[in-house]
Chains A and B, each alone.
Chain A
C-alpha cells in the first residue's frame, strides 16, 4: 500500500520525533511510506476562524500533493478532521472525495486499515499512561465513544496503545476538552488555562507516569501550562510510545 505521510507544520518544527515515530511505525507494519515534498498546512486555522478563501487555497495545495496515494496518514486528529469534514463542505466536493475518505489519524489507520490483530510493537513500556484523547479524535473522527453518546464504549487509540507490551493505559475521569482550541488559547487564555489545568490534575490524580495523546497540539498546551507552574509530569505523542522511541526510565519521576 502506498501511504503518504502528512506532517502538520507545528509537528514538523517542534515535534519532529513524533513524525519520525509515525514513519517508523507505518514502515514496521509493511507500508511503503512517502513524504511528499512541499507540504505545509491543511488549512485548519483558516477553516476554524472563518477565512474560507485562504482555507480553500490550502485545501487545493493539499489535494495536489496527496491525490495519488492509497492512504494519507497524519499524527494529528485535528488536521485529519479538517481534511475529512471540512474539505467536503467546499464547493467542488467531488474533487475532494478521495482525499476526504482516505486521510487517517495514525491510530485510526493502524486500527481500521492494518487491523489490531496485525499490530506488533516490540519495546515494552512498563508505565501508567494517562491517555488524553482530543475532542477531534473523539467527537469528529469517532476514534472513541464520547461520554455524551449512549452507544457501546470503544476506544481505538487505547486499543492500539494496549498492544504495547507491559503498558497500562488509564483514561481520565472526564473526557473533556483540554482548552487548547487553536486561537481559543490566546483569545480566552484564562478559561483555556483553567480547562487544561483541570485535565492535568485529573490525569495526575490517577497516578499516571506521563500523559500521551494523538494530538501534540493539545499536549503542547498542557505541557506549557505544566512547565510554567513547575508541575512535574511528562507528555508524549502516542506514536513515540508505539515506535519505542521513549525510554520509560526517563519518564519515571
Chain B
C-alpha cells in the first residue's frame, strides 16, 4: 500500500536535497510564468485547448478510426492494445519480425506505464533510454520521479557517481556539461547500431494520419532516422482532430513544461521512411473506463506543470507517490483507479488549487482529488479517520453538543499538564502548539449582549 506521508517524511529528512528539489522546480514554475505571461491570449488558449480535448474525447471512437484509416493510407501500420500486456506483446512481435535485438527508446511515459523495458530485457533485448534524464535513471537502476524531468531528485554529484560507475567518467566529475557530453558519446554508438527505435507520441493527427513527437534533445529523430523499424506507442487520448489544432497545443506544451516557447524539435512522422517500417500501437490500458466519469483526466498532455507548482510534490519528491505518474495528476489517476492501495494519494493534497490554475488544459485536478477521497475513506486503513470525522459531524450537528465539547476542551486546557495535552494532540502537536481556548466564546458574548 502506498504510504505517501511516510515516504514524504523520509524525503524531507534530507533537508538539503528537499530544499534543492523545491527550489529547482519552483524555478521551472517561474520560467513557465514568464513564458505564459508573454502571450496575451494565454488564458483563452487554455480554454481553447480544453474544448478541443473535450470535443475529441466526446467523439473518441470516430477520431481514432479516422486516424487509423488515414495512417494506414500513408503506409503506417496500426495496432490496437487493450492493456499493457497486449502492448508489450505487440511490440515484441514487431521486434521479432525484424530480428531486432538492440533498441533505442525516447520520450515515452506510456511504455513506462506498461513496464515495457523490464518486459523486453527479460526476453533478451537490449533497450537503451536515450533522453538524458531517462538514461541517468536507467544507468542508476532508479525510477523516474517526474514525467518531464525524471532525474530531478538526483544532484549533479550523484549523477557524476552513477556515470563514473557505469561509463567510467573520471571520479568526482560533476560538471553537467561534461557529463552530458559523456552520455552523448556513449549514446552515439548505440544509436548507430540500433535495430529499432521506440518512441512515444505527443499528438496523433486524425485528419493527416500522422504522429507528432515533441522533444528537446532530438533523440527520437536520430533513433528513427537510423533504425529500420520505428514503433510509436500512444494512449488512446493522444489523438486530436487535425494539424489545424496542433498549434494550440504546441504553444501550451513547451511553455507549461519548461518555459520554452516551443520544444527544440517538433517532429512529424506522417509515413514510414523509404525502406523502413513505422508501426503505431494504440493503447487503452484502463483509459476507456475513465472516459465514463472522469474524462477530464484524459485531457492531460503530460506537461508536468502541475508537479512543478504543487507545494506538496516539491517537498515530498516524486517517488513518494509510488506510481509512474506522480504529483496532482498522478494522484488523481491512481487514487480513483485503486482507492484501497492508493488512498493516501487522495489525501496528499491541501486542496490549494494551484494545479488547476497552471494546467494548460484546465483539468479540475483538486476537485478530482476531493472526489477520490470518498472512495479512499471507505478503505479499512482509514476506518479511524472515518470514525473521528463521523464523531465530529455528530457533535457539530447540534449546537448544545458543540458547547459541551468546547467546555470540555477548556476544562482540559485548564487542568491537564502541558505534556498530556501534547500527547492528546498527536501529529498536530508534533509540529505545533495548540491554540488556547478563549475565556469566553463569541456565542457566549453574544448571548450576554442580547440578554
Q: Name A residues whose Cβ lies closer than 8 Å to a Cβ of B.
A: 7, 9, 11-17, 19-20, 35, 37-41, 45-52, 54, 57-58, 61, 135, 139-140, 146-151, 174, 176-177, 179-195, 198, 220-221, 223-225, 227-228
Contact among B349, B433, B434 with A184 in the assembled complex (CB-CB below 8 Å): B349
Are A190 and B5 CB-contacts (below 8 A) given A38-B399, A150-B37, A150-B39? Answer: yes
CB of B435, distance to nearest CB on chain A (Å): 4
Q: B442 touching A20 by the CB < 8 A rule?
A: yes
Q: How far is the CA of A191 from the CA of B389 in the complex (A)?
A: 22
Contact segment of B90-98, B166-174, B189-197, B422-430? B422-430
Are B432 and A194 in contact (CB-based, < 8 A)? no
* Cβ-defined contact, B432 with A227, below 8 A: yes
Q: Contact check, B442 vs A225: say whether CB atoms are below 8 A apart.
A: no
B246 is an interface residue with CB less than 8 A from chain A: no
Considering the complex, give the chain B residue whose CB is closest to the CB of A86.
Answer: B370
- A35: chain B residues within 8 A (beta carbon): 443, 446
In whole angstroms, how far apart are the Cα atoms of A176 and B12 in the complex? 18
19 A-B pairs whose Cβ atoms sit less than 8 Å apart in the complex: A16-B440, A16-B441, A45-B389, A46-B389, A48-B373, A50-B377, A139-B352, A146-B354, A148-B357, A176-B311, A179-B350, A180-B350, A183-B347, A183-B385, A186-B426, A187-B344, A193-B432, A194-B18, A194-B315
A181 touches B389 (CB 8 A): no
**Of the candidates A39, A40, A140, which one forms a contact with B397 in the assembled complex, judged by CB atoms under 8 Å apart?**
A40
Asked whether B431 is an interface residue with its Cβ less than 8 Å from the other chain, the reply is: yes
In this complex, the member of B37, B352, B353 whose beta carbon has the largest number of chain A beta carbons within 10 angstroms is B352
Closest-by-CB residue of A relative to B12 is A190
| 3 A-B pairs with the lowest CB-CB distances in the bound complex, closest first | A224-B432, A181-B350, A50-B374
Instruction: Verify B316–A191 contact, CB threshold 8 A.
Output: yes
Give the residues in chain B near A61, CB-CB below 8 Å. Answer: 397
B294 within 8 A of A: no
B316–A9 CB distance below 8 A: no
**Given A50-B376, A188-B312: A13 and B409 within 8 A (CB)?**
yes
Q: How far is the CA of A13 from the CA of B392 in the complex (A)?
A: 15
Q: Choose one: B9, B375, B392; the contact of A190 (CB below 8 Å).
A: B9
- How big is chain B's contact interface, by range? 35 or more
Chain B residues with CB under 8 Å of A12's CB are: 406, 441-443
A54 with B389, Cβ < 8 A, contacts A150-B42, A191-B5, A221-B432 known: yes
Whether A51 contacts B390 by the Cβ 8 Å rule is: yes
In the assembled complex, B416 has its CB within 8 A of some CB on chain A: no
- B393 — which chain A residues lie within 8 A by C-beta? 46, 51, 54, 57-58
| Interface residues of chain B: helix, strand, loop or mixed (majority) | helix
> Among the interface residues B8, B351, B353, which one has the most CB atoms of the partner chain A within 10 A?
B351
Asked whether B263 is an interface residue with its Cβ less than 8 Å from the other chain, the reply is: no
Task: Contact check, A228 vs B431: say whether CB atoms are below 8 A apart.
Answer: yes
Q: Does B402 contact A (CB under 8 A)?
A: yes
Task: Determine the chain B residues whose CB is within 8 A of the CB of A51 once the complex forms.
Answer: 377, 386, 389-390, 393
Select the residue from B311, B370, B390, B437 with max chain A CB neighbours within 10 A. Answer: B311
Cβ of B4 within 8 Å of any chain A Cβ, yes or no, is yes
Q: CA separation between A36 and B269, bound complex, in Å? A: 67
Chain A, Cβ-Cβ closest to B439 = A16
Residue interface bits B359-376, CB-to-A below 8 A is 1, else 0: 000000000001101111
CB distance from A60 to the nearest CB of B (A): 10
Tell me if B213 counts as interface (CB < 8 A to partner A): no
Give the residue name and chain of the B residue nearest to A195 (CB).
B311
**Given A39-B399, A49-B389, A148-B357, CB of A16 within 8 Å of CB of B309:** no
Give the nearest-CB partner of A218 in chain B.
B350
B313, closest chain A residue (CB): A191
- Give residues of chain B (382-405) contacting chain A, Cβ–Cβ below 8 Å: 385-386, 389-390, 392-393, 396-399, 402
Residue in B closest to A146 when the chains form the complex, CB atoms: B357
- Cross-chain contact B431 with A193 (CB below 8 angstroms): yes
- Establish whether residues B43 and A150, one from each chain, have CB atoms under 8 Å apart when the complex forms: yes
Flag whether B358 is at the interface (Cβ < 8 A): yes
Query: Across the interface, which residues of B come within 8 angstroms of A179, CB to CB?
Result: 311, 350
Q: Mark B198-222, 1 if CB is under 8 A from A, else 0.
A: 0000000000000000000000000
Q: Are A135 and B431 in contact, CB atoms less than 8 angstroms apart?
A: no
Docked Cα-Cα span, A41 to B349, in Å, equals 22
Q: Determine the distance from Cα of A224 to Cα of B432 in the docked complex, in whole angstroms.
A: 4
Contact present for A149 and B43 (CB under 8 Å): yes
19 additional A-B pairs beyond A14-B438, A148-B358, A185-B428, beta carbons within 8 Å, are A7-B442, A11-B442, A40-B399, A148-B309, A148-B357, A182-B351, A187-B5, A187-B347, A188-B8, A189-B427, A190-B9, A193-B431, A193-B432, A195-B311, A195-B315, A195-B350, A220-B435, A224-B434, A228-B433
Q: Provide the residues of chain A in CB contact with B446, threshold 8 Å.
A: 35
Identity of the chain A residue whose Cβ is nearest the Cβ of B38 in the assembled complex: A150
Rounded to whole angstroms, the CA-CA distance of A58 and B392 in the bound complex is: 12
Contact partner, A188, options B33, B347, B358, Cβ 8 Å: B347
User: Nearest Cβ distance between residue B393 and chain A, in whole angstroms?
Assistant: 4
